[in-house]
Structure formats: structure tokens, C-alpha cells
Amino acid sequence: MGTLINVASSVVTSGTIPPRLVDGALVSTSVLQTPRAVAETKRFLDSIESRFSMLDSGGWSMFEETFIKSPGRELIYDPGQPFYTKNNELNLTAWHVAQVMSTLRDYLDVAAICDFPVPDLKNPARQEMQFRRHYGYNLTAARELLELRRRHTPEIGLYFPLQTYTFAHFNTAMADLGSGKDHTPFEGFCLPVRIFDDPAKIGVWALKILLSTSVVNLHIFGTHAFFAIALCAGLSGLFSALSLDSSSYFHYAKHSLYLLNDLQYVLIEEGKAYSDAISSACGCPVCAHVTLNDLRFKEPKYRSKLLEIHNYVAIDNFFKYAYRHSGSPHQLRQALLRISTRGREIDLVYNTLCAIEAFRNVDVSDEFLDRLYMDLIGRKRQ
């Protein structure tokens, strides 16, 4: 049985979550550009008993700001210049990631290859255009970072972010990187949730990875959603390590949202009264001393800090609950139904896991996987 890892992003910069609670931490190349930031990150990683520390390039937040919200800016790939984002340019290369990997080599387990993220598109023609537009950068960065890792930090695993829309795109990338069923030059894949946005899609792509590569590690970028955690718990028997990262604990807290045990939420408002049974059933370090009614009257910044801790623990408890009951798709489904009314999500997770169990040792075509996805989500094929 593989591991299921709750990875908290923004956990270093937030500074709110007690280190003893942190299971996994995500740090960003884009942030680690000053001696002070590096020193703070080292201190934090020294203080946690983390099973998993991961380096991300920080690409999506920068590319979203630079290219999506402000079109017309230019992507530079100049390893001779420092990392920067200024004026109309962004310079981020494999060399910049490799430098941080070397600086944090005693702390990191895994690094994600820097990438030029593709936007979320549904139109096939636009998908093809964007894949081709981004592919040159992504292929160059992957090849260079693989070589830099080999030379300088071979002990750190590399995960390849899937900036692909179709299995044909995936096949192109794997062929160009020399990947096959017997050998894949990196240790894991990253699936960004903005593209892989439902359990059936994640599941079918996980099946594709199992059938066509030697990779046994999978990371889901940018989500601690109920369906994603539940699905990855169910996949833990097929992969060596599954991890998911998000800063949702922070964003929920910022909007005064209190997470329940199935990750649905309650909005904390001054004019409302709440049952003390909600907090008494939690047992986290916050709810051991404070009720929801108490939280109503806390100063907003202090309330947000308390909710960050509670929400982080609520997410972590759900990770552990789902993993503990992931012996079979049926066992997981029954356990999820005991704590949640999310029946449709649970059924989709269950059906996806059953399909993976049925076909994980069968040599199926990409066309079959496409049809399988359509069948799982109940969409009629043209």
C-alpha cells in the first residue's frame, strides 16, 4: 500500500500552522530568491517532522498574472540572467530551479520541473494551438533539469507536470523524453487540477500513466477537494506515493469558513448561533478550547488564524480517514457515505476506482480511455 500525503502550500509564508501538525510542505522557487527567504524556509523545514518536502517553480501563479491577466507580456528563457518578473518579462529556467534544488538539497524529497502552464480550454482547436505554443518551453525545461539533476542533485526526485490536453499530447511528450513502460526518466507526474478537474479525468489519466510508463508517484497540483483526496486514497494501492497540495485551509479561513469533517463548510457570522456539538466533535487544537459561537466575536484577523489551524487539521483528518478505509472501492464508498451527503461525488469516485481495477492490467487503447471517461461522467459520445 502506497502513501497518501497532505502537502500544504503557503505553509512557510503563512507561519500559522504549528510545525508538528505539518505532514508535507510545498515551497516555491519564485519565493526562494533571497537569502532571508531561504533561511526562513530552512528553519521551517528543520522544525517539521515532514514525510515529504516538495519544490515547485511557482509557475502557475506567475504565468496567470503575467500572461493571462496581462496579455502581451514576454516569456524569457535566459539561464545567464537571474530569475525575475518585471516590466513585460518573466525569466524562469531549469537553471533557476536547479539552483534552489542545490541550496535545499538536504531538505527536499521532490522537485517539480518548471513548466509553462496551459490554460483551461475546452475547444480542441484552441487546445492544440496552446499545447504547441507551450510545448517548446516545457520540453526544453524538462530535458535541461533532468541533466542538471543528474549532475548535481541525483538524490532529489523529479516530477513532470502534465501540461497536456489529450493522450496524443502525452504520447508526444513521453516519446521526446525517452519514456516508456520499462523506463521513465523522472519519478512522478504532477496533474494540475485546473485541467484535471474531476475524479473521472484524474482516474483515467492515472490509468494511462500506469499502463504506459514506469512511474509510480503522482501529485495533484492545487486542490484539497473532497473528490480528489478520496480518489487518491483509493489509488494508494496502485501507486507508491500520492500527494495533493493546496492552500485552501488559508483561503477558507480568510473568508470565515469553518470546514466540517467531509470538507463542506459553515460560514461564521456574528448574527448567527451555532450548535456546540459541531466544534466538540472536532478535537483539533482550536476546537478543544473555542466553540463556533466564540469564533463569531473574535477579532477578524485572530479568527482567521484560528480557522487556518482548524481547517488544516480538518483536511488532514479527512486524508487519514479516507486512507484508513481505502482497502477496496466498496470499503471506501461505505466509509465516505457514513460521514457525507455528497452522494454523486462519492459514486463517481467509486465508479472510477472500479474501472481502474478492471482495466489496470489490460492493454487498452487511448480511444478506449477516452470512451471510458465519457462513460464515467455520463456524457453522450458524438
Q: Which three cell numbers stand for residue 368?
A: 478506449
Distance (Å, whole) CA 48 – CA 57: 22
Number of domains, the chain: 2
User: Does residue 153 belong to any structural domain of this protein?
Assistant: yes
User: Does residue 364 belong to any structural domain of this protein?
Assistant: no
Last residue of a domain, one of 323, 342, 360: 323
pLDDT value of residue 48: 80
Do 85 and 19 lie in one domain? The reply is: yes
Do 165 and 291 lie in one domain? The reply is: no
Distance (Å, whole) CA 206 – CA 2: 14
pLDDT value of residue 163: 95
Range of the domain at 261: 252-323
User: Does residue 193 belong to any structural domain of this protein?
Assistant: yes
Taking Cα atoms as reference points, which of 197, 200, 187, 249 lies closest to residue 54? 187
Q: Which three cell numbers stand for residue 49?
A: 517532522
Taking Cα atoms as reference points, which of 353, 328, 325 lies closest to residue 339? 325
Give this prediction's pTM.
0.93
Mark residue 15 as left, alpha or beta (left: phi above 0; alpha: psi -120 to 50; beta: remaining): left
User: Does residue 225 belong to any structural domain of this protein?
Assistant: yes
Do 228 and 319 lie in one domain? The reply is: no
Taking Cα atoms as reference points, which of 96, 354, 312 lies closest to residue 204? 354
Do 182 and 197 lie in one domain? The reply is: yes
* Count of Cβ atoms closer than 10 Å to residue 30 Cβ: 20
Taking Cα atoms as reference points, which of 345, 352, 343, 346 lies closest to residue 375? 352
pLDDT value of residue 381: 46
User: Does residue 82 belong to any structural domain of this protein?
Assistant: yes
Largest CA distance in the chain: 61
pLDDT value of residue 161: 96
Distance (Å, whole) CA 27 – CA 57: 8
Do 111 and 201 lie in one domain? The reply is: yes
Distance (Å, whole) CA 10 – CA 222: 11
Do 135 and 236 lie in one domain? The reply is: yes
Last residue of a domain, one of 299, 323, 347: 323
User: Does residue 334 belong to any structural domain of this protein?
Assistant: no
Do 132 and 206 lie in one domain? The reply is: yes
pLDDT value of residue 281: 87
Distance (Å, whole) CA 65 – CA 60: 8
Do 266 and 230 lie in one domain? The reply is: no
Residues whose CB is less than 8 angstroms from the CB of residue 261 and which lie 6 or more positions away in sequence, other chains included:
281, 282, 314, 317, 318, 321, 339
Do 88 and 106 lie in one domain? The reply is: yes
Q: Which CATH number goes with the domain that contains 219?
A: 3.20.20.105
Last residue of a domain, one of 246, 261, 291: 246
Do 231 and 196 lie in one domain? The reply is: yes
pLDDT (tens digit, 0 to 9) for every residue of the chain, 382 residues total?
899 999 988 777 777 888 888 989 999 887 777 888 889 889 888 888 667 899 998 665 666 555 555 555 677 788 888 877 776 677 889 999 999 999 999 999 999 999 888 889 999 999 999 999 999 999 999 999 999 999 999 999 999 999 999 999 999 999 999 999 999 999 999 999 999 999 999 999 999 999 999 999 999 999 999 999 999 999 999 999 999 999 999 999 999 999 999 999 999 998 899 998 898 889 899 999 999 999 999 999 999 999 999 999 999 999 999 999 999 999 999 999 999 999 999 999 999 999 999 999 999 999 999 999 999 998 544 4
Q: What angle do CA 53, 221, 4 make, to 5 degrees?
A: 55
Do 103 and 209 lie in one domain? The reply is: yes
Distance (Å, whole) CA 199 – CA 345: 8
User: Does residue 353 belong to any structural domain of this protein?
Assistant: no
Provide the pairing of β-strand 157-161 with 74-76: unpaired
pLDDT value of residue 89: 75
Do 123 and 165 lie in one domain? The reply is: yes
